[in-house]
Amino acid sequence: MSENVHCKVRGGTGFLTLDRPQALNSLSLEMIRALTATLRAWRDDPAIAAVVLRSSSEKALCAGGDIRFFHAVGRSTPQGGSALLDDFFSEEYALNHLVHCYPKPYVALMDGVVMGGGMGISQAGSRSAVRIVTNRTRMAMPEVNIGFFPDVGGSWFLSRAPGRLGLYLALTGLTIGAADALYCGLADHYVPEAELPLLADLIGSTAGAGLREAIATFARPLKEEAGHAELQAHRALIDRHFGHRSVVEIIASLRSDDHPFARKALAAMEQRSPLMMCVTFELLQRAGTLPIADCLRLERNLARRAFEHGEVIEGVRALAIDKDNAPRWNPPSLAAVTDEMVARFFEPAWPAWAHPLRDL
């Protein structure tokens, strides 16, 4: 068991508490293994009626995967073929599948920062799952900012967001709050952070049948303190600009619009990896018709290709290692991205029978 994951059972409810506050609960391989082992054990334990995922810190539920680990291991291994990296992504995506398909009520308290890998362990797909946001929620899938793509099941839940909202979130990597998370279908209920202890008491005494209904009754209407649904206010603009057939066309469309919201989206995209924006665009087109297991298998293939290419190593260097915020993207511009470059990411890295997620 990991020292950064605490497990407690109360009144038939299993509480999983992430406790790595100095890293905003960024997931290590050890944490992934602890979460997987506990969720598998509780899944088969008749004494456990429900599971709650929460944090020991008010700053974050989980800020994602441990990108410093990605950089260190990826740099030390030619073409990104490290066994440790393979283990990390294979086991993380298997955990995402376990969460998504969990047969018991699964409650994610998405208080504070919830990004990347944090979304992967929060976006459970079963009917009994409950995703709760607070006035402190800061949610994003910012992978294109580090030369990667929205993984951990992001291709599945972003491609199913209303209209073109998922593509907007994937290509800009921008952060949203509680109101927008609810509007995008990435959360179910709003609870003020001050009332989370009361919610925990409720969950601990209502595990099992009726839990989802009890939480729905407890949850509060969105208040001004939770922020406004900016994406809802600009939905028509998002659907218009992000409804084009390529990243190049989206950028051109945004450049023709002087609206501040369009300018903000454009400014974000101009900082992202041109290649990985194009890969992300193609990923979401494909994922919209795939079940979750196939989405995760596709993402696993792309993760291998991303480290072979090296774009993610450079992105992490610029953001988290040297912190110069001046990544040298390869290629450096959208004009230089070819269809062949994008297609390379989707070429199978393993035969189907050898795929690390073949048993999902």
Q: Which residues are marked as active site?
A: 65, 117, 143, 151
Taking alpha carbons only, the member of 55, 52, 188, 181 closest to residue 118 is 55
Residues with Cβ within 8 Å of residue 357, at least 6 apart in sequence: 90, 93, 94, 97, 293, 296, 297, 300
Phi, psi of 220, rounded to the nearest 5 degrees: -110, 150
Which parts of the chain are beta strand (E)? Answer: 5-10, 13-18, 50-55, 60-62, 106-110, 113-115, 130-133, 138-140, 189-190
- Give SS3 for 182: helix
Contact 131, 187 (CB under 8 A): yes
Contact 187, 227 (CB under 8 A): no
Taking alpha carbons only, the member of 4, 67, 70 closest to residue 35 is 4
Q: What is the DSSP letter of 318?
A: I
